[in-house]
A and B are shown apart, each in its own frame.
Chain A
Amino acid sequence: GQQLNQSPQSMFIQEGEDVSMNCTSSSIFNTWLWYKQDPGEGPVLLIALYKAGELTSNGRLTAQFGITRKDSFLNISASIPSDVGIYFCAGMNYGGSQGNLIFGKGTKLSVKP
């Protein structure tokens, strides 16, 4: 089946630093999503991308839908302690009324105050 390669697996950064993570696929998606999971909670949607080349921001977060449709990137600027968590990319191809998300294995972010 389809697989997503998400990197890095983990990051340890200083508060105030910028963060970059990415996700690549062996096949094309027509939707890319980025989620964040806090400890003990379910994933929460951060950004959704629907068009190749699209660049979308949500506060300090910026995500891009790769032009090849096989990759996506998430950047976090000026990190703060509450950015700690696991970030998941997810890709989807939907047709008709149904689309199933395929998830990457996550990037665990730790922020030192």
Chain B
Amino acid sequence: NAGVTQTPKFQVLKTGQSMTLQCAQDMNHNSMYWYRQDPGMGLRLIYYSASEGTTDKGEVPNGYNVSRLNKREFSLRLESAAPSQTSVYFCASSARGGDGYTFGSGTRLTVV
């Protein structure tokens, strides 16, 4: 019962470097989401994918791109990392709108 799996768990990047955060779910969920969590700010939606083949911007999409590779996988890419992107990133999935989300355990990213 893996649920939602995120890789890597930790990453340190230099300003300007690029990287892709990976997320996979094995629950056959239709919808997937990327959130970032910063101290005192709660969880803010970056991008989401309502179903395979669709992606939409959330509250804080600037500096990020996403790919819904197939039903299982939803990746988040930072093309040119900035210190303001230092955060904990969570991927989540849900079967359908109205259901609670299942979250991964997070990727802790530091940009120096």
Contacts and interface: CB of A to CB of B under 8 A. Distances in A.
B74 interface: no
A95 B97 contact: yes
A89 to B, nearest CB: 10
B59 A1 contact: yes
Contacts of A42: 4, 90, 92, 103-106
Interface in B18-66: 30-31, 33, 35, 40-45, 48, 50-51, 58-59
B14 interface: no
Interface stretch (A43-51, A52-60, A66-74, A75-83): A43-51
A98 B58 CA distance: 13
Given A99-B98, A100-B45, A101-B45, 15 more contacts: A35-B100, A42-B4, A43-B43, A50-B98, A88-B42, A92-B98, A97-B30, A97-B51, A97-B96, A98-B50, A99-B97, A100-B33, A100-B58, A103-B42, A106-B42
Contact of B105 (A40, A101, A104): A40
A41 B105 CA distance: 5
Contacts of B31: 97-98
Contacts of B102: 45
A24 to B, nearest CB: 14
Main secondary structure, interface of A, reads: strand
B36 to A, nearest CB: 11
Contacts of B41: 105
Contacts of B96: 97
Contacts of A99: 97-98
A12 interface: no
A97 B105 contact: no
A96 interface: yes
A44 B97 contact: no
Given A41-B105, A42-B106, A43-B103, A98 B97 contact: yes
